[in-house]
Structure 1
Amino acid sequence: MRLIRIWPESAHFDFMRLRRFSFPLSATLSLLTVVLLFTVGLNFGIDFRGGTLMELQAKSGRAEVAKLRQTAEGFGFGEVEVQEFGTAGGVSLRFPIQAGGEAAQSAVVQKARDTFGNEYEFRRVETVGPRVSGELVQSGTIGVILSVIAVLFYLWFRFERELAIGAIVGTLHDIVLTVGFFVITRHEFNMTSIAAILTIVGYSLNETVVVFDRTRELMRRYKTMPVEELLNLSINTTMSRTVMTATTTALSLLALVIFGGRAIEGFAQVMLYGVVVCTYSAIFISSPMLIYIGLRSTETAKAPEGKVAPAE
C-alpha cells in the first residue's frame, strides 16, 4: 500500500530565497515587541501583582461595566480594574493589595458579594498577598532564565558552532515573539504563561533539531554542494514531518481553544501561536541564519554522494 506524502519527495522549493522577506519581518516584530514591552508592558496577572481578582457573570446576560466600576471604586479599596471578558455578561474586577493582611483582603471579597450578589454570579475569586506575589515573580523569573540557559547550552554542545548559533538565534526569536504576543493581545501574564513559554521553547528546540540533524547529515554527504542548495534540500526532505507535526499539534490546540473553557483558553491560544512561530522560525530564521554566519562542514572523511531518504 502506497503511503500518502504530504510534501512531494522530489520537491525543490527555494526556501532560502524568502529570507529577504522573513528576516526584515522578524526584525520588525522583535523590535516592536521590545519597544512595547518597555512602554506598555505586560498585563501581569494576580499571581505577580497580588490583590483580589473576581470574575462575575451577569444573571440578566448583560453587564453594566460603567456602573460596576463606579460602585466598586466607591468601596474605598483603591483603583479598581473592570473589564468585560468571554461571553456576554462576563466581567472581571481586580482590586489592589490592601493593607491589613488576609482580613483586609477578605473584607474586599465580602463587600463585593454583598453589593453585587443579587445581580451577578461569582464564577471565580482569587486573593494573593504581596509576599506570595513577590515570591512567584522571583521564582518564575529564575525558572525561565535557568531553563533558557540550559537549552542554549544543550544547543551549543549538540551541534557544531555554526549550527548551534543558528539554533540559539531561532530559539531566542521564538521567545521574543511569544512575549510580543502577550504584550499586543493583553493576555494575562501569570504562572500559566510561564509554563506556555517553556513549552514553546521545547517545541522550538524539537523543530530546529530535526532540521539541523538533516543539515548535518547532508553536510557529510555533499561536500561541494552550495550552502543555499544544501539548506533547501534539508528543509524539503524534512517538510513532510514538519507539516504533520505542526498540523496535528495545531488541531489539538484549536480544540482546546474552542471547547476547553476559560480555564485553559489563554494557555491554548498562546501555544497555538507558538506552534506557528516555531515552525516558521525553524524554516525561515534558523536555517537562513547559517548562510550569514558561514556554514562549514567539520567532517574530514568524504562520503559518497547519493539519494537522501526523507525524514521519518
Structure 2
Amino acid sequence: MKLLKLVPDNTNIHFLKWRVPFYVVSLILMAASWALVLTKGLNYGVDFAGGQEVTLTFEQRQQAPIGELRDLVGGLGYGDPVIQRFGEPNQVSIRIRLPESVENTPGGANAVGEQVIAAIGKTYPGVRRDGNDTVSGKVAGEFREKAVYALLAAMLAIALYIWVRFEWQFGVGGLFALAHDVSLTLGMFALFQLEFSLQIIAAILAIIGYSLNDTIVVYDRIRENLKKYRKMPLPELLDLSVNETLARTVMTSLTLLVALIPLLIFGPASLFGLTAAITLGIFVGTYSSIYMAAPILIWLGVNSNSFVPQEGTADKQERLARERGA
C-alpha cells in the first residue's frame, strides 16, 4: 500500500528567492500591529481590567455547574464572565466586567454582584454566598505587568538557548521570529477587539513554544548542511534545509489545525479567543520559521565556516611543531 505524502520527496521550492518582499511585508504588518495596539488598545478582560468577583458554594451539589453558570451569568448583559473552581469542587469564583456607568457609582459594583448572586440563587436553591468583592484596577495592573514579564522572560530565555545551542546569529533570528509572531497575534486582538485575558497569555506562550520548535528543527538542518556542503551558496543551502524539513512542518501544522478548526467553529464562546490565537499562531509560526528565521542568517553573516572549530593557540603551536618535525 502506497503511503500518502502531503509533501513529495525532493521538493525544491525556492523560498529564499522572495525573502526581501516577504520581509518588507512582515515588517509592515508588525508596525501596523503595534500601531493598532497603541491606538485602539486591547480589549482587556476582567483579569486585566478589574471588575466584580463573586464566590459561591453550591451546598446541595458535589460539583458546581460551570457551563450552566457561564450561560446564566453571560445572559445578564455584563459580557463573558470568568468562572473558575475555587477550593472545593462545589465552590466557584465568578468574575464579571463592570460597565463604565457602574465603575464611578458608589455601591454600583456591589449591586452588580448582588444581582448575579440573586440570579444564581433563583435558579439553584441552596447556594451560599462566600464573597462579593471588587477587583481593583491596581490588582489588574499587576496581572498585566506580570504577564508582560512572563512573555519577555520566555522570549529571552529561548533566544539564549538558541544562542548557546547554535551561534549568536541563530539566537537573534529566533528572537526576531518570536517577536514577529507575538506582534501579529496582538495586532489581531487589537483589530477585532477580542477579549484579552490570562487565557490569551497562555495561548501566546503556546505559540512561542510551537514557533520555537519549528525554528529549531530548521536551524538544526541548516547547521548540518553547513558542515556538509561547505561550498554551496548560503541562499541555496537555506532553501535546501527548509525543503528537507518541509514535510515535517506541514504534517505538524495540519495535525494541530485538524483539532483547532472544529473547536474554533463549533467550540464554546469562552474558548474562542484562545483557539483563534493558537490557530493564527500556527500559520504565523510556520511562516516565520521559513521567511523570518532563515533569511536573517544571510544578513547576519552566517557562512560555511560558522560551525568549523577554530584553531586555538595551543593547537596551532602543536601543529607547527609537528610540521617542523616532519
TM over 0.5: yes
User: Within 1, Cα distance between the matches of 2:214 and 2:13?
Assistant: 19
Q: Cα offset for 1:252?
A: 0.9
Give the TM-score of the pair, scaled to structure 1: 0.75
AA aligned to 1:259 is F
Say whether residues 1:107 and 2:100 are aligned partners.
no
SS at match of 1:287: coil
Tell me the equivalent position of 1:31.
Answer: 31
Structure 2 counterpart of 1:281:
288
Contact kept? 2:185, 2:277, Cα under 8 Å = yes
CA deviations 1:76-133 (Å, max 9, x no partner) are xxxxx889xxxxxxxx9742474799x7523123357889xx9xxxxxx996333432
Q: Residues of 1 paired with 2:154 and 2:308: CA distance?
A: 35
1:42 aligns with 2:42: yes
Q: Give the CA deviation at 1:244.
A: 0.2
- Name stretches of at least 5 consecutive residues in structure 1 with no aligned partner: 59-67, 69-80, 84-91, 119-124, 302-312
1:161 aligns with 2:165: no
AA partner of residue 308 (structure 2) = T
State which structure, 1 or 2, has the greater radius of gyration over its C-alpha atoms.
Answer: 2
1:215 aligns with 2:219: no
In structure 1, C-alpha distance between the alignment counterparts of 2:103 and 2:200, rounded to whole Å: 25
Aligned-partner Cα distance in 1 for 2:282–2:197: 20
Amino acid of the structure 2 residue aligned with 1:271:
I
2:62 corresponding residue in structure 1? none
1:32 maps to amino acid: A
Matches within 5 A, 1:139-178: 139-178=146-185
- RMSD after superposition: 3.1
Q: In structure 2, which of residues 295, 300, 308 is the aligned counterpart of residue 293 of structure 1? A: 300
Distance in 2, matches of 1:109 and 1:162, equals 54
Shift of 1:51: 1.9
Kept in 2, the 8 Å contact 1:52–1:95? The answer is: no
Greater mean alpha carbon deviation, residues 223-232 or residues 292-301: 292-301
- Kindly report which structure 2 residues correspond to 1:251-266, keeping only aligned pairs within 5 A, or say none: 251-266=258-273
Greater shift, 217-226 or 131-140, is seen at: 131-140
Deviations 1:4-23 (A, max 9, x none): 32212221110001213211
Residue among 248, 254, 258 paired with 2:255: 248
* Shift in alpha-carbon separation, 1:147–1:299, aligned structure 2, 3 A: closer
Give the CA deviation at 1:224.
Answer: 0.2
* Paired amino acid for 1:247: L
Which sits farther off after the overlay, 2-11 or 209-218?
2-11
Give a deviation string over 1:236-281, Cα, whole Å, max 9, x none: 1110000000001111111221232112121001100000000011
Q: Decide whether aligned partners of structure 1 residues 40 and 5 sit closer, same or farther in structure 2, where only a CA change above 3 A counts.
A: same
Cα drift, residue 57 of structure 1: 3.6
Q: For residue 298 of structure 1, give the secondary structure of its aligned residue in structure 2.
A: coil
The offset of 1:142, in angstroms, is 2.3
2:205 corresponds to 1:198: yes
Which residue is 1:95 aligned to? Answer: 99
SS in 2 for 1:255: helix
Contact 1:156 1:164 survives alignment (8 Å): yes
**Equivalent AA in structure 2 for residue 228 of structure 1:** P
- Between the aligned partners of 2:275 and 2:248, the Cα distance in structure 1 is 22
CA contact (8 A) 1:55 1:93 kept: no
Structure 1 position 145, deviation (Å): 2.2
AA of the residue aligned to 1:38: L
Q: Which runs of 5+ in 2 are unaligned?
A: 54-71, 81-95, 123-131, 310-326
Find the aligned partners of 2:12 and 2:103 in 1 and give their Cα distance.
63
Deviation of 1:295 after TM superposition, in Å, equals 1.6
The total of aligned residue pairs comes to 264
